[in-house]
Structure formats: C-alpha cells, structure tokens
Structure 1
Amino acid sequence: MPNTDSRLSAIKHWLTHTLECNYTAIEPASNDASFRRYFRIVHPQGSRIVMDAPPEKETLKPFIKIGQLLTRHGLQAPTIYFQNTRKGFLILDDFGPTCYLDHLTPKTVDTLYKAAMHALLKMQVNINPTQNALPVYNQSLLHQELELFRDWFLTQLLDITLSPAIHRELDRVWALLIKSALEQPQVFVHRDFHSRNLMILEEHSPGIIDFQDAVQGPITYDLVSLLRDCYIAWPKQQVLHWVTAYHRQLQHHPHWHCELPQFIRWFDLMGLQRHLKAIGIFSRLKLRDHKEDYLNDIPRTLNYVINISNDYPELAIFSQLLTNEILPAKKFPS
C-alpha cells in the first residue's frame, strides 16, 4: 500500500538523517491488531525496535506514560531511546522475538505463569491508578465493548437477525457482567495481559508490551486475560488452581480481602465480558481490516463463553441462546 511505503520511507529518513543511525537492516518485527506496526533495526551495536503509530490513528502519549510508570515500579517495559511524537515514531528496546505463547507447554506453563502473576501482583500492589490519572474502566466503556459482540459478531459476521427477545436477553446479560466488574476492587489494569504480550527475556522475565490501553479497572481482569487466554487454553481445574493461588497472595493486602467463591465468580464473569468483547474484535478485524487469521481464535474464545455460561444458573437462557441460535449460524473455523 502506498501509505505503508511512505511511512516506512519516513522512518528510514528519520533514522538516517536525523538520528544518524548506521543501521544495516530493517525488517518487520510483528503485526498488531491495531494500526501500529513494529520494525526491527539491526545496527553494529545490536538491535532496536521502531514503533510506527500513524498520528491520525494512534497517539503515543499513553504508551510513553504507562511505559515509564511500569519501569518506575520495577517492571520490564521497553526503554524508549528516541521519539518523534509528531510523526508517530519511537525507538525501543528489542525484547527479542520470543513471547510466552511460543514456549508455553504443560511442562513450562507453571514456571512462566508464576513469573507473570508475580509481575501482575507487583503492578496491582504498587501502581495507584487514581494518583496516576489512568482512565476509568467505567460502565460506558464496558458496555461499548460488549456491544462489539452484538454488532460485529452476531449481526455482521453471522448475519443473524436479532429478535426483540434476543436483544432483551443480551441487555440483561450485559447488565449482569457490568455490575460484577464494577463491584470489584479497582486497580491498575494492563488490559491485554496475555501470552502474546509477555516476552521471554534472559533476565527478569517477563518483558511487558502493548500496555498503552491501561486503565483503572476490575482486579480480576488481567488475571483472566492471562489464565483464560484467547490464544491458548488450559484445563479448568488447572486454571482454578492458579486462581486460588493468586487469591491467596491477595489476602496479604487487607483492603482487597474477599472470600474465594466471590473472587472466582468475579473472575468467571470478567472473563465472559472480555471474551465476548474479543469475539467482536476478531470479527471486526476480519470484516473491516481483512485480517482473516483472527477467525481461527473465535472457536476457543467462544468455548470459554459457553462453558462459563453453563456454570451459572442466571446465564442459562443466554447459554441456550448460544447453543440454539449462534452455533448453528457459525461462519468461522471449527
């Protein structure tokens, strides 16, 4: 695309003429579900990552702010070496190509998740989202995210004509999930704390990336993002074991005290909200942005939704809706 080429040319010009960087290679480093792109530059001293965030689509300010916040509290966020906020360019630490998802196996998962949950607890304990003026994960935002499922998945991808009864049921479930999210202790939330955004480093793993959308929100949000990951699934009892262990650690902080059954309910319903949103986003990525591969993640994510809905009597009608209306209309890989 011409626009892509022009921005890459602008990056090369910035590197060569403004920064006088004697790089020997520049290549794509990763793709993003947003409008951002990343390039790896190789130079005589090693390598760095260039973030390309078109200013008309993305703003760099939250990334810069949250990255500094994480680093200040002992977490591994990439250092920013140079920035051109007018054009939307940053030069960052290169955390390498290996994310958690590349190395997660039944043999490695306990060690990797222990490190991730240690980092998560440090974020939640040490970073005060109110003092740092983070956006609030409020009722409006939670509802807006849930509507992605109704609009992009049900209506556009599956082409289902929603009856008034279905609309009413979705509205009821949305209200239930939002109430559960808002009644939880509100903490720092990374908002995309999963296996593709946790990098394996030689020291002090994990490296944390893609944190620019951080907010003040529910205490179980990042935990369920990690343990019920849209890109990899684990047995239910194993997930429950990890949730129980994390809850035990939280009990050392009295202002977050709650009984384990309540914490598990919060965790389950928070996961339901996140997964409904994710299914909507995956559908939008396919339909609007022509990123077909995300359809492959819908079955796993929808399976979480179905399983949790089956576990709660107040979601029985919603579960029937999923089984009777949605699964027969599916237009995505099995």
Structure 2
Amino acid sequence: MSWVDSAVIPGARRIERAWQNLSLGSLPNTAEALPPQASLRRYVRLGRGNESFIAMVLPELEKAEEIGGGQGAGPFLTVQSYLHERGLSVPRVYGFDSDTSIIVLEDLGDWTFERGLFDSQAEELFQPGWNDLQIAYERAVDLLVEMKVATVDSAQHEGPWRDRAFDRTLLTGEWEHFLEYLVAEGCGLHDLAASTALREAGAQLVEQILDMPYVFTHRDYQSRNLMLGARGLVIIDFQDALMGPDVYDLVALLRDSYVSLPPTLVEYLLARYHEGLREGGINPGTLSELTNRFHLVSLHRKAKDAGRFVYIDRVKGNPDFLPHIPASIECVRVALQQGSGLEHLHELLGPVLDRDWSGGR
C-alpha cells in the first residue's frame, strides 16, 4: 500500500495534492510521520531517492496555537523570509500550497541543539564543542545576539510581529493560564488561584514587564527549536514572533524546561549577551538592570510554561510534558529569590513551591 493511502500519515492525500500543485516533480516514495509535539501542526518526512523533505501539515481550520500566537501559513512564511533576508539561518522553503495548507520545507534532520548537548556523535558529525555546555551555549547566545542586531529595525518592516506584542492582555492571559492550570488544576489550590492578592501580585509583575525595552522576539528560542547541522545552528518554530521584552528569548534559552544550566554558566552567558548587544550597537542598560529584567521575565514565562504543561495534559490529552514541570517550578523559585521586589509574590506562591513536584504532577 502506498503511503498516500496510509492512515498513519497525517494529511497524506493533502500532501500528495500539494506536491502536484507545486510541481515538485515525482512524488516521494517514502513518508514518515514525525512524533507530535505540543503544536497542532504535524510534520511528515518525505523521501525520494537520496533527497529528503519535510511537509508541514497545518490545521485546515486555522487556529492560533499559543495565546496571542499566529494562525495559518502566513506568519511562518513572512518571518522565515524576513530572517533569511537578514542572513539568519532558517529552514529553506520549497513551496506553499494554499489549497491544502501544506508547506514543503528543507529537512534539517533530527539533531536538535538539546540532543547535540548530550550525544557524543555530535562532536563527530558536526564540529567539536557541542558536548561542552559552555561552548555550545556560547554559540546559541551569539546567534541570538545576531538575531537581535539584525532585527533592530523590525518595527519599521511589515510583518506579523508589528501586530502582536506581549501587551497587557497577553501577559495577563498567560499569568491566568498559570493560575488556572498549574495552581488550581495541577495543585488543587483553587482558593489561592482565585485570590485577589495573587492576581494583584501578578498584575504588578505584568506592569514591570511592560516597562522593559521591547524588540523582535522569537518567543520560544529554546533547545528544541534550534537544529544542529552542517551550517551550524538553524532557527525553527518562529511563526509566533512578536514584539517582546529584550530578555525574553534569552530567558527561553537559559531557563529551558528541558536543560538545566549551572548558575555560574547562566551568569556568564547573561554577561556575554549584554556585551554582545553593546558591541552590536544596542544599549541594554547596565548588566545589573538586564539581569533583573531576566529574573522578572523568567518568573512570568516559567510560571506560564508550568501551566501550559498541565493544560497540554488535561485538555489535549498529551502527558509527555508533565515531567518537565519540576524544572519550570525550580526556575520560578530561583527567579523569586533573585529578582528585586518579589518577596510578597514569593510568600503567596509558597504552597505551590513547597509541593513535591518530583513526579511531575
């Protein structure tokens, strides 16, 4: 039976039709559905001789996957083009078929940045240093600085990021996501989640974030959204790009739910990022100011992440992300300890922090 008729290949008939509509030559003779993640998008690896492609199968009913996120193919294609034009390494696009909502992309393989950190083959297949946390993260931070410098004029260019930002509505919605799914559903602390004190403390945190410098922001620049290959690191999953705090992407990278970094390395990389921005002509303020912004955004993002993992389990029926809740909660704890003016919020969240998260639930 051809893969086109296989029930295990998502959107198989749509992919076949898109391939024909895009005039990409003979139909691939193999297809492999890649494991689903948190996204509504599905990915299929297509093989034709020694060629390999990725079909991004978008939901036929366009729906934003993140609170305030992008819909359909438009944001992905626009951001991809914008970053590519500025010399940043992103997947090549071979075609988009609007009739089927299929994008055909370069196959970047299976080597995420996360995998490269812990698999010794990365040193043999690519270049030395990927198994060294400091060297690997220096490369990821330097690429992030490159993106910030290259997109410094993003507000003057047409793109979905001009219509989306971490505004009060979005930031408040993400905080409420944390209260509803982590505090109430995950911990069973319904009274705490509904308390005026915790909501007011969250509102104060939101106002502090809104006062930060805003720049072009990937929104999920972490170890599973950087691919390792012959041309170094390649940035993926950028369709939700928006205007956000200047440290947001750095938080996503250094406070990753999937990789925990030693405090001394985080401190060193914060200084490297700060210096990189300054050398690129961007004024991030003092290192102390940038570091405090980092802790405030860490608190907000990691709280949202923890709630998101419960949401993916309870609403989408996917428990795969539950084991990453403890790391997210630990990041919240560290941010509360190191950020300035967070003592009251730290006290309010005590019952959440004191819970045993070792089982991921």
- Give the gaps of 5 or more residues in structure 1: none
Question: Which residue is 2:133 aligned to?
Answer: 109
Q: What is residue 14 of structure 1 aligned with on the other side? A: 18
* Residue of structure 2 in register with 1:234 after alignment: 261
Q: Does 1:143 align with 2:167?
A: no
CA change 1:247–1:8 in 2 (3 A) is same
Shift of 1:312: 4.1
The answer to which of 90-99 and 132-141 deviates more is 132-141
Per the alignment, residue 74 of structure 2 pairs with: 61
What letter is aligned with 1:259? T
Q: CA deviation at 1:83?
A: 0.9
Tell me if structure 2 keeps the 8 A contact 1:154–1:326. Answer: no
For the Cα contact (< 8 Å) 1:306–1:322, is it kept in 2? no
Q: CA deviation at 1:16?
A: 5.6
Distance in 2 (CA, whole Å) between partners of 1:17 and 1:245 is 47
> In the alignment, which of 101, 113, 130 is matched to residue 88 of structure 1?
101
Structure 1 distance, partners of 2:339, 2:319, is 33
Instruction: Return the alpha-carbon distance in structure 1 between the equivalents of residues 96 and 258 of structure 2.
Output: 32
- Contact 1:296–1:332 (Cα < 8 Å) also in 2: yes
Native 8 Å contact 1:185 1:256 kept in 2: no
CA distance in 1 between counterparts of 2:170 and 2:312 reads 19
Q: Aligned partners of 1:289 and 1:102: how far apart in 2?
A: 26
**Conservation of the 8 A alpha-carbon contact between 1:76 and 1:206:** yes
What do residues 177-218 of structure 1 show as CA deviations (whole Å, max 9, x unaligned)? 222322222111000000000000112x21111000000111
Q: 1:78 to 1:247 in 2, by over 3 A?
A: same
Given residue 121 of structure 1, which amino acid in structure 2 is its aligned partner?
V
Tell me if the contact between 1:100 and 1:196 (Cα under 8 Å) persists in the aligned partners: yes
Pairing partner for 2:157 from 132, 137, 143:
132
Identity fraction in percent: 27
Q: Name the counterpart of 1:328.
A: 355
CA shift, 1:326, in A, is 5.4
**Secondary structure of 2:55's aligned partner:** strand
Q: Which amino acid aligns with 2:13?
A: S
Q: Conserved in 1, the CA contact under 8 Å of 2:187 and 2:352?
A: no
Q: 2:246 aligns with which of 219, 235, 239?
A: 219
Q: Which amino acid is the alignment partner of residue 170 of structure 2?
A: L
Distance across 1 between alignment mates of 2:35 and 2:91: 15
Structure 1 residue matching 2:11: 3-state secondary structure: helix
**Structure 2 contact 10–42 (Cα < 8 Å) conserved:** no
CA deviations on 1:136-190 (whole Å, 9 max, x unpaired) are 22111111111110111122232222248x6233223323322232222211100
Counterpart CA distance in 2 for 1:3 and 1:285 is 24
Deviation track 1:2-46 (CA, whole Å, cap 9, x = no partner) reads 997672332234336764433121002342312001111011241
Choose from 214, 222, 230 the match for 1:186: 214
Q: CA deviation at 1:79?
A: 1.3
Question: How many aligned residue pairs are there?
Answer: 331
Q: What is the TM-score with the length of structure 2 in the denominator?
A: 0.84
User: 1:284 and 1:182 mapped to 2: Cα distance?
Assistant: 26
Contact 1:158 1:331 in 2 (8 A): no
Q: Deviations over 1:30-79 (max 9, x none)?
A: 42312001111011241010000113134110000000011001111111
Cα distance in 2, alignment partners of residues 269 and 280 from structure 1? 17
Distance 2:271 2:247 in 1: 12
